[in-house]
Structure 1
Amino acid sequence: MSFALSQTPKYPQLPSETPATVNIPVDLADYSRRTVMIPMRDGVRLNTIIVVPKTATPNHKAGIVLTRTPYSAEALTTNAQSTHLGSSLYGYDNATDVIVQGGYIRVIQDIRGKYGSEGDYVMNRPFLGPLNPTPVDHATDTYDTIDWLIKNVPESNQKVGIIGISYDGFTTLAALVNPHPALKVAVPMNPMVDGWRGDDWFHNGAFRQQNMSYIYEQDGSRANGYKWPTSNWDDYAMFMRAGSAEALAKERGLDQMGFWRKVLAHPAYDEFWQDQAVDKILAAQYAKQPPTFPIMLVHSLWDAEDIYGAMAVYKAIKPLDKNNMVSLTIGPWHHGGAIDDGTTLGQLKLPADPSYWWRQTVLGPYLASYLQDTPPANPKPIPPVTAYQTGANKWQGVPYWPLAKKTTKLYLHADGLLSLNEPTAAEVPSTAYVSDPAKPVPYRPRPSRTAGYEPDNGWANWLAQSQIEQSGRTDVAVFTSDVLTAPIAVAGEPIANLIAATSGTDSDWVVKLIDVYPDEVPGDPHMGGYQLMIAADIFRGRYRESLSTPHAIPANTPETYRFNLPNAYHVFIPGHRIMVQVQSSWFPLYDRNPQTFVPSIFLAQPSDYRPATQTIFHSTTQPTFIELPTLTNP
């Protein structure tokens, strides 16, 4: 039986009070907002929002500041309650004060496959080549977008700058590959560059499993509509209960997502990852034709997400910069902190606001020099490197990076000592601890939440959290110097030279360089005894011989593990001490190493996870030390 719906209302209806459309009076706001679908060369149209300040007119043209994002152009440009341009732009990727003060046209575009844009989404879409046989990538999409903008925005002065953080930093770098002639300046901030070496997906082979929820939501739908199924307030408990990362993926349905299947198929640094590394791509391009327009790379010293990318690109392309187009900023920030409040870094207090100072003193004049028809008169030159020296807490303009030309070896000793002196024959030659996969070392105090920026999450600043809790664990080897009587200034990448053995056949090694504050800090009691990580990273032991081909570790045999820690620009001041911590898990940020060699740790079974005795050697013939790039005059 079926029933037909009556076309005539059964009861009398009141007239609707809701209009078909709502138009904000055009004279009320100090800007206009346009939404357009810009066609790409393959016919796909990309949703683009153009925000034009009323100071920009066809007779008084302005430069364009472009960002290409997977995070919703609509959300980043819409504040229906505001009639002011500055308040209409939300924080992420919007250096709002600089954009408003510069009078720029703000353009934010959804990348293909996300939110209002057409086309298929591919995570960090590879550039044209073996991994992408199509005619389009982020470089061509940026080129086509800029070409359309300069022809169709009458208020434009034909000068375009591109800026972006994180994923949007990756798309900013993509614009540098065969760039459009109207692109005059680029500011890639904390960009995703190499997902295996040290950005979002792996660090030196160890999988960053707390990004599984990001993959689920980013890959799951055009508008991130499918949310990661939660079951625990504490991620530590959730990952432990599931076992391996792949077991959790199957449990939560992550295996439906195409990018997860790629990650699962490529645990080593094979051609899949190597061919996508943006630093390698740009180095190959600039070896043929050096940069022809200015590029400012922005790096955050406590970046919990993309601490590798900006410095890797700088290292790759600066030697090819024949025209002095490439500059660098190194700031005391978390991921994206340059456009955030910079007065604190977690519990660490910083004088003034380093973020605001940088935006007003460096970023603003830098963009104005290349995007405004009449740049500021007598602008102060931007130094090749603008770097904030923590410890001394001051901005400095320096000529190059790394600044240090001297290497100082910091040796591990028996009885938990650390010094600039080599070990002696009289010392106990090694220190041992037991690493138990059933009780991995937390990377931050529990409960640890999924990576994100909710106010109560704590994710953004975890790299600056005190390591005092970890220093009391029996599965963390701790080495501490005497109280310093003279400053030691680090300016570059510390290098871990670890000689270690494991009773297992695989192992992870985490090395942390730490500034230990005095037991009491006058005027700031919460910093008493604080253990601030200055540089820290993880290395998966199976890749000690080859990053692309894993090898089992011979049990109970000393092996050398040499790997770079992230860049530091820091002064260990008198009255402080230096600490090095060594451990074999950093959970649940990184998946547990079963400590039994298996072809893929993603597929490790419960029986593969076994305790192992880890031995750190510090003898005259087998010294473990940290190479510190130090300044002669701190």
Structure 2
Amino acid sequence: MRRSVVLAFTAILAAPAISAPVTPDMVQAGSDVTGKFVAPHPGYDYEKRVVMIPMRDGVKLNTVILIPKNAKGLPIILERTPYNAGGFVDDKPHMRDAARGAFREFIDDGYIIAIQDIRGKHGSNGAYVMTRPPMGPLNPSKTDDTTDAWDTIDWLTKNIKQSNGRVGMIGSSYDGWAVTMALLAPHPALKAAVPESPMIDGWMGDDWFHYGAFRQNSLDYYLGQTTARGRGESIPREGSDDYLGYLDAGSAGAYAEIYGFKQLPWWNRVAAHPAYDAFWQLQALDKLVAAHPSNVPTIWLQGLWDQEDMYGAITTWEALKRSGHGANNHLVMGPWYHSQINRTGETLGPLKWNGDTSADFRKNVLLPFFNAHLKDRAAPPLPEAMLFNAAEKRWETFADWPVAEKQAVRPLYLKPGFALGFDKPAGGEDSYVSDPAKPVPFLTPPVDFDNHARWTTWLVEDQRPVATRPDVLVYQTPVLSDDVKVEGAPFADIFLKTTGTDADVVVKVIDVYPPSYAEQPELGGYQLPVSQDIFRGRYRGGFAHPQAFKPGETAEIKFRLPTMNYTFKRGHRIMVQIQSSLFPLYDRNPQTFVPNVFFAKPSDFKKATITIEYGPSAVLLPVK
């Protein structure tokens, strides 16, 4: 009885006192989440539109458009991306602060900015295909990124009344690939284009392979890019050292198997095509662009130490020049890592420049280039080529930059006593044991592929830590009594024998600083790589047709190294390093010939003695 009274009294105290009748505005109806909210944005100096632009097949692509207030007769800069168009823009009152920094020069000069998610990614509809091939044997549909760019530009010029009907395209890496695809059949309103570090040929020398050697950090990208429309999964690494993680797994295919990659269609296609067969040949954009050249004025731009897409811009520009279409195409190579043109460019690893090379180039060259073609403003004519000389810390312009096969070269020969020189020596040889169980690291372990600072600058990493390894051959010149200027693409021309049936060859051209360097003491004795690459030896007779080595039989391996514009200064030395692995960035060659290196078994990985013959072996330098 007492407990009931207490409970009743408590309930009375807890109940709200009703002092007025309930009116209709008090009654909850539906959800408190509106689903739509249009912010008034007082004081904003631009209008932001998010639209779904229809393509010819009915698929709609998410596009973010920034239009300055009171705009009239402005051109449009378009970037197409798989990296979330919405993430390129922040909600800030001023347009120059809202858009990413690389657009700032355009915004200050009066441009409309449009950023679009490519088909199947983030806010866009449709199916995503990694670097979707052009319509044809590999793409039986009626659309590709050429038609999507055409349809987008058509919609933008017809539906943005503030525009002058002219569009320029820009973008780096995958976005540079999208610019290149647009150039295969450009819309008439596309008046200028700048593919920055474009992904052009993923097998020959861009993201996925270099001359047949697989870049294992591609696996992280595959998972993140193809497991979700937005940001995808990450590899759940057990340890923090990718050197040990990949070594313990065995082959790249075994590593992929551990983490479930058989579920990924793109990985399965890559793994099934380790050689340069039709799958890769039919989507090589340098060849396609040369076969279908456009009249759109274009700057092909990349970094001299681009750790991701070193191959695409220079080879596409060369293909166009070779086929007689160089007049409206220009080559630019700056002192940058991958996409550093869109960031600050005051330094590259230990190297320091005279100011911000990226911002200066955007302001003084890139913006005037677009203004000339999109705003009819007078601008100095662009040279055929502009390349930064890192040793001189300055830009140099060229009225006639040579394509690789037409350049004059001087052989820099490997010589007895691990010497290096321009005079040809008598025959001889040096050997080392290449052990797949102890591969040469591309960075001093521990290696963390997620460490952005080390990843972006690994191509300028000091090579002294590996120069003392017994499986790295090191040749160097005497101290230079005069400057040696190199302009063009070096070629490695190496004659070797192996006790195995397969082999990789890594060749590095290095600038060795004097032991004491007053201008920057930390560079004393520094071994700065200027040009380096890897070649999978099984493709020495043809990229589509691998062949085994015959143990003990001399084979010539000749391949192009990345382009240089560099002065080896008096008092320095030129060094060449030769090795057989660059791990874990590139997968290990088992040194036993197997049908598919991706799926080499543990028993296939064997030591081999590699013998380099000096006399004929040299690096062919385009010395001026």
- The TM-score with structure 1 as length reference comes to 0.91
Aligned to 1:44: 59
Question: By how many angstroms is 1:17 displaced?
Answer: 9.9
Answer yes or no: is 1:30 the counterpart of 2:82. Answer: no
Which amino acid letter does the alignment assign opposite residue 442 of structure 2? Y
Which amino acid letter does the alignment assign opposite residue 212 of structure 1? L
Aligned to 2:170: 163
Partner deviation per Cα, 1:231-271 (whole Å, 9 max, x = no partner): 22111011011101111111101121111000110000000
Give distance in 1, aligned partners of 2:235 and 2:607. Answer: 31
Give distance in 1, aligned partners of 2:220 and 2:238. Answer: 12
Answer yes or no: is 1:484 the counterpart of 2:480. Answer: yes
Aligned to 1:3: none
Partner deviation per Cα, 1:480-500 (whole Å, 9 max, x = no partner): 111101111111100001001
Give distance in 1, aligned partners of 2:561 and 2:450. Answer: 22
Answer yes or no: is 1:495 the counterpart of 2:491. Answer: yes
Aligned to 1:76: 88
- Give the secondary-structure state (helix, strand or coil) at the position aligned to 2:166: strand
2:359 alignment partner, one of 340, 356, 359: 356
Which amino acid letter does the alignment assign opposite residue 589 of structure 1? L
Question: By how many angstroms is 1:122 displaced?
Answer: 0.5
- Give the secondary-structure state (helix, strand or coil) at the position aligned to 1:106: strand
Give distance in 2, aligned partners of 1:612 and 1:468. Answer: 24
Aligned to 2:159: 152
Give distance in 2, aligned partners of 1:413 and 1:569. Answer: 25
Aligned to 1:176: 183
Does the aligned pair in 1 maintain the 2:183–2:296 contact within 8 Å? no
Give distance in 2, aligned partners of 1:554 and 1:138. Answer: 45
Which amino acid letter does the alignment assign opposite residue 439 of structure 2? P
- C-alpha change, 1:342 and 1:14, in structure 2 (3 Å) is farther
- Give the secondary-structure state (helix, strand or coil) at the position aligned to 1:406: coil
Question: By how many angstroms is 1:407 displaced?
Answer: 1.3
Answer yes or no: is 1:302 the counterpart of 2:282. Answer: no
Aligned to 1:446: 445
Aligned to 1:53: 68
Give distance in 2, aligned partners of 1:277 and 1:11. Answer: 75
Question: By how many angstroms is 1:356 displaced?
Answer: 1.9
1:331 alignment partner, one of 305, 329, 334: 334
Q: Between Structure 1 and Structure 2, whose CA radius of gyration is higher?
A: 2
Q: Which moved more, 1:291-300 or 1:172-181?
A: 291-300
2:521 alignment partner, one of 519, 525, 529: 525
Query: Cα RMSD (Å) of the superposition?
Result: 1.9
Answer yes or no: is 1:66 the counterpart of 2:78. Answer: yes
Q: Which moved more, 1:63-72 or 1:13-22?
A: 13-22
Partner deviation per Cα, 1:200-250 (whole Å, 9 max, x = no partner): 111000011111010011011100232222222111011011101111111
Structure 1's unaligned 5+ residue stretches are 1-9
2:323 alignment partner, one of 298, 320, 342: 320
Does the aligned pair in 1 maintain the 2:41–2:93 contact within 8 Å? no
Does the aligned pair in 2 maintain the 1:432–1:615 contact within 8 Å? yes
Give distance in 2, aligned partners of 1:547 and 1:379. Answer: 43
Which amino acid letter does the alignment assign opposite residue 423 of structure 2? N
Answer yes or no: is 1:554 the counterpart of 2:581. Answer: no
Question: By how many angstroms is 1:347 displaced?
Answer: 1.0
Does the aligned pair in 1 maintain the 2:407–2:488 contact within 8 Å? no
Answer yes or no: is 1:605 the counterpart of 2:601. Answer: yes
Answer yes or no: is 1:112 the counterpart of 2:124. Answer: no
Which amino acid letter does the alignment assign opposite residue 542 of structure 1? R
Determine what percentage of the aligned residue pairs are the same residue: 45
- Give the secondary-structure state (helix, strand or coil) at the position aligned to 1:135: coil
Which amino acid letter does the alignment assign opposite residue 236 of structure 1? Y
The count of residues paired between Structure 1 and Structure 2 equals 598
Give distance in 1, aligned partners of 2:307 and 2:325. Answer: 32
Which amino acid letter does the alignment assign opposite residue 181 of structure 2? A
Q: Which moved more, 1:361-370 or 1:223-232?
A: 223-232
Q: Which moved more, 1:516-525 or 1:529-538?
A: 516-525
- Give the secondary-structure state (helix, strand or coil) at the position aligned to 1:422: coil
- Give the secondary-structure state (helix, strand or coil) at the position aligned to 2:301: strand
- C-alpha change, 1:83 and 1:472, in structure 2 (3 Å) is same
Question: By how many angstroms is 1:354 displaced?
Answer: 1.7
Give distance in 1, aligned partners of 2:351 and 2:539. Answer: 35
Question: By how many angstroms is 1:40 displaced?
Answer: 0.6
Structure 2's unaligned 5+ residue stretches are 1-13, 17-25
Aligned to 1:629: 622
Does the aligned pair in 1 maintain the 2:317–2:326 contact within 8 Å? no
Answer yes or no: is 1:535 the counterpart of 2:537. Answer: no
Give distance in 2, aligned partners of 1:578 and 1:483. Answer: 8
Question: By how many angstroms is 1:460 displaced?
Answer: 0.7
Which amino acid letter does the alignment assign opposite residue 366 of structure 1? F
Partner deviation per Cα, 1:139-178 (whole Å, 9 max, x = no partner): 0000000011111111111000000100000000001011
Give distance in 2, aligned partners of 1:542 and 1:90. Answer: 44
> Which runs of structure 2 are paired with 1:401-420 in the superposition (5 Å)?
401-402=401-402, 405-420=407-422
Give distance in 1, aligned partners of 2:550 and 2:38. Answer: 71
Aligned to 2:20: none
Q: Which moved more, 1:384-393 or 1:187-196?
A: 384-393
Aligned to 1:504: 500
Which amino acid letter does the alignment assign opposite residue 578 of structure 1? I
- Give the secondary-structure state (helix, strand or coil) at the position aligned to 2:570: coil
Aligned to 2:282: 275
Aligned to 2:579: 583
Give distance in 2, aligned partners of 1:624 and 1:323. Answer: 34
Aligned to 2:5: none
Give distance in 2, aligned partners of 1:232 and 1:400. Answer: 50
Aligned to 2:19: none
Does the aligned pair in 2 maintain the 1:442–1:587 contact within 8 Å? yes
Which amino acid letter does the alignment assign opposite residue 218 of structure 2? N
Does the aligned pair in 2 maintain the 1:55–1:103 contact within 8 Å? no
Give distance in 2, aligned partners of 1:263 and 1:17. Answer: 49
Question: By how many angstroms is 1:55 displaced?
Answer: 4.6
Aligned to 1:469: 465
Does the aligned pair in 2 maintain the 1:26–1:32 contact within 8 Å? no
Q: Which moved more, 1:555-564 or 1:520-529?
A: 520-529
Which amino acid letter does the alignment assign opposite residue 591 of structure 1? D
- Give the secondary-structure state (helix, strand or coil) at the position aligned to 1:71: coil
Give distance in 2, aligned partners of 1:531 and 1:55. Answer: 55
Answer yes or no: is 1:387 the counterpart of 2:383. Answer: no
Question: By how many angstroms is 1:574 displaced?
Answer: 0.3
Which amino acid letter does the alignment assign opposite residue 76 of structure 2? I
- Give the secondary-structure state (helix, strand or coil) at the position aligned to 2:409: strand
Aligned to 2:4: none
Question: By how many angstroms is 1:406 displaced?
Answer: 3.0
Partner deviation per Cα, 1:567-605 (whole Å, 9 max, x = no partner): 011000101100000000000000000001111111100
Which amino acid letter does the alignment assign opposite residue 448 of structure 1? V
Give distance in 2, aligned partners of 1:533 and 1:203. Answer: 17
Give distance in 2, aligned partners of 1:334 and 1:55. Answer: 38
